[in-house]
Amino acid sequence: MNNIPEQAYPSKLSRGIVNNSNKLYDKACKIIPGGVNSPVRSFSNVNSAPIYIKSGKGSRIYDNDSRAYTDYCGSWGPLILGHAHPKVVEAVVQTAKNGLSFGACHEKEIEFAEIITDLIPSIDMVRVVNSGTEAVMTALRLARAATGKNYILKFNGCYHGHSDCLLIEAGSGLLDNSIASSAGIPDSIISKTISVPYNNFDAVKKVFECYDIAAVIIEPIACNMGLILPENDFLKQIAAICKKKHSLLVFDEVITGFRFHAGDYASLSNIQPDISVFGKIIGGGMPIGAIGGRKEIMENLAPLGPVYQAGTLSGNPVALAAGIATLKELKKTNPYPEIHKKSDYLATLIKNNISENNLPCQFSCYKGIFTLFFTENNCIKNLETVKKCNLELFAKYHNYMLKNNIYISPSQFEVNFISAAHSISEIKALGDSIVNFLSLHQSL
């Protein structure tokens, strides 16, 4: 592949590596803010213009110059079966033939809810919405209503969507753009949200000593500041103090739900949250979100209870068709053991190379999700440690991978995904490319 030219590009970015993407980005910048419809799609933090994707199949995506890339972004998580899985596509096509939306009840809503409640022990009832952001917003409204309390506790670097009260010390695109919060949010709205360091239970205890907390919301595995695992009994300690203080525990499983097995991460950690939030995989690539929990909590939702939530496209039949097909395929074929094997292979290859050559980076990997942190700190445990990463080196790494036909998330602060569609030869090629890049930058 050709090297990326160094000349200036819109917003002082370098030109991308493909011609048609450059032309499309030029057009987009004139009519779309920043040229993108979501900040995480911007390549500004890797000093390039974004690549425009035309199609995807299996483990590959193809840009507008028909250049192929092995994809480890996977639409930021939903595509655990790979792009355009035949059964998912067929379900979408057949459902769409009967109508795209009704704004009325339909049978797939029941089928979807039955699958979720069957596979997740902590959920008695489920309400489907249109996005993870909407699901979280509803979950916290539920928690406040159920407890009669107002304060929400979250964790620095965890991202729970862009609703007003949660854009405090958030992760994902906010980190890329150096935004601690967001303009347009009154102080009165964020005054009831408290954010503390991830993996710091002492900070959690101090908050509970000073405030009457309605709910603690957490990514059980942090995936929006890069991959950071919970330490020791961190999650169990949070669950215990929530129970003691009559606060609700909300697990944001938008990324972790159905990622490691046909169910939630909570059941793997032997924790039963009061409310769980899902997205991504449960929609098979279509827009979706869901809130689930115990019956006595969920019955607070209108029309049974006083907590209002509504949506014209909530429970959209096409989105549910994709989700149902995906969840059925995951349950039937159980691709998880093979995904975990590929993940372990990749981790061993890269970690051994880092250790043998004393390289200034850390590789975090867990059951098919991974992040390469460009830092010498061997204890990546929270946002404060992640912020010390070498972002200039990450940008070089990202562009190197693109030149080697590998597409990874264009952010140091995001995770990457191994899907059922990736072959072991593709995983080896990924590992070899990472090792080759590191060998070129041992002195940095």
Separation between Cα atoms, residue 44 and residue 26, nearest integer Å? 14
CA nearest to 131, candidates 266, 278, 298: 278
Q: How distant, in Å, are the alpha carbons of 10, 62, 169, 173, 394 from that of 178?
A: 19, 30, 10, 9, 16
| Sheet bearing 213-218, strands edge to edge | 125-129, 289-293, 275-279, 248-252, 213-218, 151-155, 193-196
Which value, to the nearest 10 degrees, does the dihedral of the CA atoms of residues 301, 304, 306, 312 take? 50
Q: Dihedral of the CA atoms 168, 170, 120, 125 (nearest 10)?
A: 40
> Which strands, in side-by-side order, build the sheet including 369-373?
362-366, 369-373, 416-417
Q: Which residues pair with 416 in a beta bridge?
A: 370
Which listed residue (280, 342, 367, 381) is catalytic? 280
3-state SS assignment for residue 411: coil
Amino acid at 222: A
Provide φ and ψ at 378, rounded to 5°. -90, 10
Using CA atoms, how far apart are residues 197 and 193, in angstroms rounded to an integer?
14
Is residue 159 annotated as a catalytic residue, yes or no? yes
What's the token pair of residue 251? 């697990």
**Residue among 71, 176, 252, 274 flagged as catalytic:** 252
Largest CA distance in the chain: 63
HSE, CB side, 13 Å, CA atoms: give it for residue 32: 12
Amino acid at 114: E
The total number of residues shown for the chain amounts to 444
Active site (catalytic) residues: 159, 252, 280
